[in-house]
Structure 1
Amino acid sequence: MPYLNPAAGAAREGRQTTAVANAAAATAAAAAGATPTKAEYDALLADVNALRTKVNALLAAMRTSGQLAP
């Protein structure tokens, strides 16, 4: 849907961002005991890093399409 840009006095069309695939399923599971093991911590860290990558890809796509300021 176009909107009026009062500052420029012209209609601008909205644009879609580039598609970004959904984040993969989480690999981390609840810790088996009171203190997480190194493997449990590493799985959680990998999930957080994967989500960080997805969020950055979404932000980059939104900047490219003009939905966010560069």
Structure 2
Amino acid sequence: MGYLNPGAGAAREGRRTAAVTDAAAATAAAAAGATPTKAEYDALLADVNALRTKLNALLAAMRTAGQMAP
């Protein structure tokens, strides 16, 4: 149920955001030693970039639905 502002009426009724799929499972694992290897670093970087993409998609969907300012 959407929020209804008595002063603005139905114009303020909440709208649903377009679906954004869940983020994939993390591929990075804890570093084997004290210093991460290049492969461990690259796996973590890929996970961070994937989460950044998901977050940006969610924010764009919320802006499109009018749930936050552009």
| Aligned counterparts of 1:33 and 1:47: Cα–Cα separation in 2 | 20
Which runs of 4 or more aligned residues in structure 1 lie more than 4 Å from their structure 2 counterparts after TM superposition? none
Unaligned runs of 5+ in 1: none
Count of equivalent residues: 68
Unaligned runs of 5+ in 2: none
Report if aligned partners of 2:17, 2:62 keep a CA contact under 8 Å in 1. yes
Question: Which structure has greater helix proportion?
Answer: 2
Matching residue of 2:30: 30
Q: Which has the higher contact order (CA 8 A, sep 6+)?
A: 2
State the superposition RMSD in angstroms.
Answer: 1.3
Matched, 1:58 2:58: yes
Give TM-score scaled by structure 1 length.
Answer: 0.89
Question: Structure 1 residues 48, 5: closer, same or farther in 2, change over 3 A?
Answer: farther
| Aligned counterparts of 1:51 and 1:23: Cα–Cα separation in 2 | 7
Report if aligned partners of 2:4, 2:13 keep a CA contact under 8 Å in 1. yes
Deviation per residue, 1:25-69 (Å, 9 max, x gap):
000000000000000000000000000000000000000000000
**SS in structure 1 at match of 2:23:** coil
Question: Structure 1 residues 67, 43: closer, same or farther in 2, change over 3 A?
Answer: same
Question: Which structure has greater strand proportion?
Answer: 1
| Aligned counterparts of 1:5 and 1:38: Cα–Cα separation in 2 | 57
